[in-house]
Structures are given as C-alpha cells and as structure tokens.
C-alpha cells in the first residue's frame, strides 16, 4: 500500500497547475490520504447531521454543496463524490416517495487558482452540476442562505495576509532571519495566531450567512497538539526552518536580497487544538455538532525524499516566485533537498509528527 504524508501543505493557496513534475495535482497525496481517512467520518457526519427535509423543502429538490479551497483537483472531486454518496444513502433510506435530488457542486479557490486545469479534469460522468467560484473564502462568495452543505479540507491554515508587525523592525514581532514562527520570539507566534483567529472568525461568519438553516459545514483543519512546544516540536516547522535557512544562504551568496528574505514569511498557521476548538465554538450562528481527530495511522510521512521535496515545492512555488521573482525556485529546492538529505531526522520520522487533523461538523442554527 502506498500511503503518503508529507506535511500540511493545504490546497487553498494558488498553486502551480497543470501536470508537470512539480504541479500541485501530482503532489497532493497528503490531502488525498486525509480525505480518504476522513471518508467514514464525513459520511457519518452527513448521515447523522444533514436534515433532508429542512434543507430541500424550499429549494426544488436541489442540494448545493461548496468546497472551499479546491485547488485543481482531484481531491476536491473525491470529497464531493463522498458527500453526494452519503446524501444519496440517507435519501434512499428516508424519502422513498420523492425523486432523488439534483446536486450542484461549487468549487472555490482564489481567483489566481488554475481553474482551467480544474475544469479540464472534472469527472466526465459526474452525477452533479459543477461551477467554479473564484475569490478568497475570507469573505462572502455566495448569496445568503444558498448553500446546504459546506466542505473545506486542509485549507484554513492559510492566512489571508501576513501581519504587518512581522516585517516591522521596530516591533517585537519582527521576524528577521526566519520565515516561520517556530524557534521565534513569542510575539511572532502571537502575531500569527492573531491573524489566524481573525481569519477563521471571518470564514465562519461568511459561511453562516451563506448556509441555509440546518445546513451543515464539515471542516478539516490541521492543528498542533496542545502540549506542543513550538520551539522544538512542531513537525512542518522544521521544514520551513530548513527552507528559510536555504533562503538565507542564497542571500549571503548575493543570489537574492537579504531584505527580501526578511520580508518573507510562510502564511500558514497551525493553532493549538484547544484554542482551535474554542474558536470554532465562538460563532453564535453555528453549533458544533461533532469534533473528532483523524486517525494518525493514516497520516504517514512521505518516505521518499524526492517526492517530499516535490510536495513542498508544489505548495510554495507560486508564493516564492511572487515574492522573490522568477528564477530562484530550482536552486532553492535543490538546496532544500540537499539539506534534508544531510539531516533526514528533521523530517522523515513519523514519530516526530506533531500535527493532527481536526474534523469538525458545524450546523447553521435556524
């Protein structure tokens, strides 16, 4: 069995599309294994929490589903299919007299996402109508009360923007010499956490407005164990530290400017589990129906270094090119691979895994 895990490289950021060796589509096995692991949880969530009568009564027997942070597939198609199967299963057991509903699936990601690739890869024999919805999910994207079921997997770790204080040399949160919040002053982590908290609240509020009453939202969010010490423990943080040190090396060699490195920070954050739970419980229009952790056995580290590097590259290539300009990515990831090869203990041991995936079901109050 080829079970693969690299790290939390979520789907929401604008990724390199297409089918090339570094494309996101070829390097998103972690998300897929997470989605497959989540299939059972997801299907029980639908069966236990999705109320057919309430949601479909006023909508002419249509069910509208949205996936936030879809990237270019195929994971988003697998998730959509899993959800639809569960709804159909529930439907068949409950409403023998009604005709089966029609499904309309909306695939959302940023406008810079490669929707052309996504659309080319839509399953040809799908049993749903499909649309792409471009735009940041940290804002409204759908009319009020227009969605019955919301899904988002591994996307909410991406921040909407970087807190300014990280690049302000007069500020305690100035993150000079690093590109992430691990092994950084507490102020740096606080700045990351503050942004994450604001972003998540914005996401929940927008979705609460878009969901119909009793509509449900199924989220999978990478998080850090509560007992974690970010300065030594966070799996994933090590990767970013190595990547940061490669950038620093390149700055020392004059290949990129040091200032550019100082103003670059990886825009992802992994909240502590107990903080995340509190944030999810804080929206007054949404009730938490279920929380669960995904089985760690399904989150196995990518044992192949080359593929691991490809996955990192797929996740960050666009971001890095945007910040540093073209032409540094090949060299940067060559250096990254070499450093990892010299210290495989940094990334290659599953027992060092400190990230978990929180699975949560929220329901829109009526």
Work out how close the CB of 127 gets to a copy of itself at its nearest, in angstroms, rounded to a whole number: 12
Nearer to a copy of itself by Cβ, of 210 and 239: the residue is 210
Residue 191 tokens read as 């700045």
Task: Give the burial class of 213: count Cβ atoms within 10 A of its Cβ; 0-12 exposed, 13-18 middle, 19 or more buried.
Answer: middle
Residue 24 interacts with a copy of itself (CB under 8 A): yes or no: no
Q: Please identify which residue in 24, 68, 77, 115 interacts with a copy of itself, judged by CB under 8 A.
A: 115
Nearer to a copy of itself by Cβ, of 81 and 145: the residue is 145
State residue 202 phi and psi, 5-degree precision.
Answer: -65, -45
CB 222 within 8 A of CB 360: no
Residue 29 interacts with a copy of itself (CB under 8 A): yes or no: no
Work out how close the CB of 68 gets to a copy of itself at its nearest, in angstroms, rounded to a whole number: 13
What x-and-dash track marks residues 44-63 binding a copy of itself by CB under 8 A? --------------x-xxx-
Residue 172 interacts with a copy of itself (CB under 8 A): yes or no: no
Q: How far apart are CA 130 and CA 202, in angstroms?
A: 26
Residue 116 interacts with a copy of itself (CB under 8 A): yes or no: yes
Selected range binding a copy of itself among 23-31, 133-141, 253-261, 322-330, rule: CB under 8 A: 133-141
Q: How far apart are CA 131 and CA 103, in angstroms?
A: 11
Q: How far apart are CA 304 and CA 207, in angstroms?
A: 38
Closest by alpha carbon to 75, among 26, 114, 7?
A: 26
Work out how close the CB of 163 gets to a copy of itself at its nearest, in angstroms, rounded to a whole number: 24
Q: Please identify which residue in 114, 262, 302, 317 interacts with a copy of itself, judged by CB under 8 A.
A: 114
With H, G, I as helix, E, B as strand and everything else as coil, classify residue 144.
coil
State residue 39 phi and psi, 5-degree precision.
Answer: -55, -45
Sites of contact with a copy of itself (CB under 8 A): 58, 60-62, 102-104, 106, 111-112, 114-116, 119-120, 122, 129-135, 140-146
């Amino acid at each position: 069995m080829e079970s693969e895990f690299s790290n939390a490289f979520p789907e929401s950021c604008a990724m390199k599309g297409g089918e090339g060796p570094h494309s996101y589509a070829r390097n998103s096995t972690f998300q897929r294994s997470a989605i497959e692991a989540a299939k059972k949880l997801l299907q029980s969530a639908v069966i236990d929490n999705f109320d057919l009568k309430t949601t479909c009564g006023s909508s002419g027997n249509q069910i509208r589903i949205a996936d936030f942070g879809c990237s270019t597939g195929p994971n988003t198609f697998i998730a959509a299919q899993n959800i639809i199967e569960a709804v159909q299963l529930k439907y068949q057991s409950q409403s023998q007299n009604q005709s089966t509903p029609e499904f309309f699936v909306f695939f959302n990601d940023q406008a810079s996402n490669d929707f052309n690739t996504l659309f080319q890869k839509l399953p040809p024999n799908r049993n749903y109508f499909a649309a792409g919805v471009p735009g940041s999910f940290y804002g409204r994207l759908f009319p009020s009360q227009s969605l019955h079921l919301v899904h988002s997997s591994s996307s909410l770790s991406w921040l909407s923007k970087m807190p300014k204080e990280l690049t302000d040399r007069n500020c305690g949160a100035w993150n000079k010499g690093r590109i992430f919040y691990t092994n950084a002053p507490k102020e740096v982590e606080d700045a990351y956490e503050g942004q994450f908290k604001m972003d998540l609240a914005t996401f929940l509020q927008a979705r609460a407005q878009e969901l119909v009453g009793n509509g449900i939202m199924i989220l999978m969010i990478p998080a850090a164990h509560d007992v974690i010490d970010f300065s030594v423990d966070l799996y994933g943080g090590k990767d970013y530290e190595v990547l940061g040190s490669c950038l620093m090396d390149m700055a020392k060699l004059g290949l990129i400017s040091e200032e550019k490195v100082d103003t670059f920070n990886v825009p992802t954050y992994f909240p502590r589990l107990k903080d995340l739970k509190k944030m999810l419980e804080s929206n007054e229009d949404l009730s938490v129906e279920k929380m669960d952790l995904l089985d760690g056995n399904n989150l196995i580290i990518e044992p192949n270094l080359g593929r691991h590097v490809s996955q990192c590259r797929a996740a960050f290539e666009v971001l890095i090119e945007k910040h540093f300009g073209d032409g540094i990515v090949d060299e940067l990831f060559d250096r990254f691979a070499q450093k990892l090869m010299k210290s495989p203990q940094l990334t290659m041991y599953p027992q060092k895994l400190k990230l978990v995936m929180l699975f949560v079901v929220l329901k829109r109050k009526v």
